[in-house]
Structure 1
Amino acid sequence: MSIAAGTDLGRALCIITGASRGFGQAVARHLSQRVSPGSAFVLAARSGNDLRSVRAELLQEYAGLLVECVEADLAHAEGQARVISAAKQCFSADMDHVILVNNAASLGDVSRYTRDFTNMAEVDSYLSLNVSSCLCLTASTLEAFPQRPGLRRTVVNVSSLCAVQPFPSWVLYCTGKAARDMMFRVLAEEEPDVRVLNYAPGPMDTDIYASAKSRTADPNIRRSFTAMWDQGQVLTCDESCTKLMKLLLDDSYVSGAHIDVYDV
């Protein structure tokens, strides 16, 4: 039987990409507090040592969880297959919720402008990790866990203001985030039983933010990031995650919507 919205997220299978550090790690911790005993987590990232540290933390803090780590490059089919295989092994028939959090992403080269990206292989490589892999993993998850009575399915895309607003010298990142937002808007139209959320977590204290401050070619964007940091306007991952959990628990958003952390 499904757990009512607003109380907790049920006995869930949670698949989180980019879970080894930063926002992905915070999502794993916050979800662990809001699922029922007997839930399972599949944590995927390229850094095995960091993943195992997150696993140890979850198991120490939250009893009754099953936590599996998948060290994989999601830009390759083999890595995706290993994530889906682990998810199937962790899933039990009495689970009432499958949650996929598409967090894995890279900033790309922000030290150059659009006119400088003449190498198709470089662009293809970026889009493979940040767009193609996201689509294929989502499709594979929905295929592995099809609709059935009593099973909720939720897909979260970790989006960005860059999905809706252009940032000069951020052409790869903006393009990738915009494509992902549209991808999940289409999914929401096609699969009305799936709850789909594009969540923009805001400026956070992460490795990507540190790179943005130091590497961005556009001087205005670079100054903006530095000013936000100096003025204490950069969020912690936990602060943003709290807002995401509220959205998931309230479950009142329009499926496919783009919701910014500052609008919650």
Structure 2
Amino acid sequence: MAQAQTSNPDGYIHARDDEEYQRLRNQAGMWQGATEALLDRVGLGPGMTCLDVGSGPGAVMRLMGDRVGPSGKVTGLEIDGTLGAQALADLKAEGGAEFALVEANVMEAGTIPGAPFDLTYCRLFLMHMQEPVIALEKMLGWTKPGGVVAAQEFDFGGIAVEPLCPAMGEFNRLFEGVFRGHGRNLRAGRQLPAQFEGVGIGAPDGTLADVKFLPLSDMAAMLIGVYQGLFASAVELGIADRALAEAFKTDMAEAAADGRYYCLTPTLIGVWKRLA
């Protein structure tokens, strides 16, 4: 069966609007510490060059810039020109490093200005790729000998709310239905080592995993935002129900206000490999 197509020309299954852009910024803040830990483990430092593939709102580019400093260069590769342009403007206004943006589809991109890089990295990007190994091959080609290829991806296998929360059942129904229906990967994080080996990078030099267990009151807005951002894709698949959607928002907000519920987040799994 052919994979369903999304209304976004680039195939992104979430909405592309201001609410989604803010959700991405909030998500980046939640996982900042995990990404900082990976960047430090791979030894990103002053004067280095790096590429953030699928750079989105530029949060990881800022963390890279903090480490490479004024003598280093950070390039973002982003298909969404509106989001990328705003990120670049914000980064340049803050300063601290040399920042650049390439607006392109990674699957169609050839030579990237500034390549090869000391670090080629992506976060929450490969899980949206129907051919992640090809994307990794591109990243490998943009990395210099002695440089590092790194990725951080979600594994959704453990996401849950305790005690049992009926609203979470509707979230999982729509979320998993959209991801599977559009050929996206719910287990991208745990598959990274095999994908690195499959592309010829070899077994990772190291791995890091981070998961959070938070009051549902801290996560409800994020869960509602994800649900709403996927709704149009659910409509295309014929699995959306507006009555269920309204009930989900009400039920999730009530559960968040209840105070008894805690959310186990997806696991963010990072791997990296220094090239010979």
TM-score (structure 1 length as normaliser): 0.53
State whether structure 2 residue 55 is matched by structure 1 residue 55: no
| 1:79-133 per-position Cα deviation (integer Å, ceiling 9, x unaligned) | x32xx422417x4xxxxx4141143479xxxxxxxxxxxxxxxxxxxxxx6231x
Instruction: Give structure 2 stretches of 5+ with no counterpart.
Output: 1-38, 161-168, 214-218, 259-264
Tell me the equivalent position of 1:66.
98
In the alignment, structure 1 residue 171 sits paired with structure 2 residue 189: no
* Partner-residue secondary structure (3-state), 1:85: coil
Alignment of 1:136-147 (within 5 A): 136-147=134-145
- Partner in structure 2 of residue 111 of structure 1: none
CA shift digits 1:40-59 (9 cap, x unpaired): 22222222233122112112
Distance change >3 Å, CA 137–CA 195, structure 1 → 2: farther
Q: Which has the higher strand share?
A: 2
1:130 aligned residue: 129
Deviation at 1:199, TM superposition (A): 6.5
Matched, 1:156 2:191: no
After TM superposition, list the pairs within 5 Å mapping 1:1-264 onto structure 2.
Answer: 5=40, 9-11=44-46, 12-21=48-57, 25-63=58-96, 65-74=97-106, 76-77=107-108, 80-81=109-110, 84-88=111-115, 91=117, 97-104=118-125, 130-132=129-131, 134-148=132-146, 151=147, 153-161=148-156, 167-169=172-174, 170-174=176-180, 176-178=184-186, 180-187=188-195, 191-192=202-203, 194-195=205-206, 204=222, 208-212=226-230, 217=240, 227-228=251-252, 231=256, 255=271
Change (3 A) 1:18 1:255: closer
Closer/same/farther in 2, CA of residues 183 and 172 from structure 1, 3 Å limit: farther
Give runs of ≥4 in structure 1 deviating > 4 Å: 4-8, 162-166, 193-203, 212-216, 218-230, 253-256
Matched position secondary structure for 1:88: coil
- How far apart, CA to CA, are the structure 1 residues paired with 2:257 and 2:77? 31
C-alpha distance 147-193 of structure 1, shift in aligned 2 (>3 A): farther
Looking at structure 2, the residues matched to 56 and 228 of structure 1 have their Cα atoms a distance apart, in angstroms, of: 36
Between the aligned partners of 2:51 and 2:133, the Cα distance in structure 1 is: 14
How large is the Cα RMSD of the aligned pairs? 4.6
Measure the CA separation in 2 of the matches of 1:7 and 1:184. 16
SS, match of residue 193 in structure 2: helix
Q: Residue in 2 aligned with 1:115? A: none
**What residue identity is the alignment partner of 1:130?**
M
Assess, with a 3 A threshold, how the Cα gap between structure 1 residues 164 and 224 changes in structure 2: closer, same or farther.
same
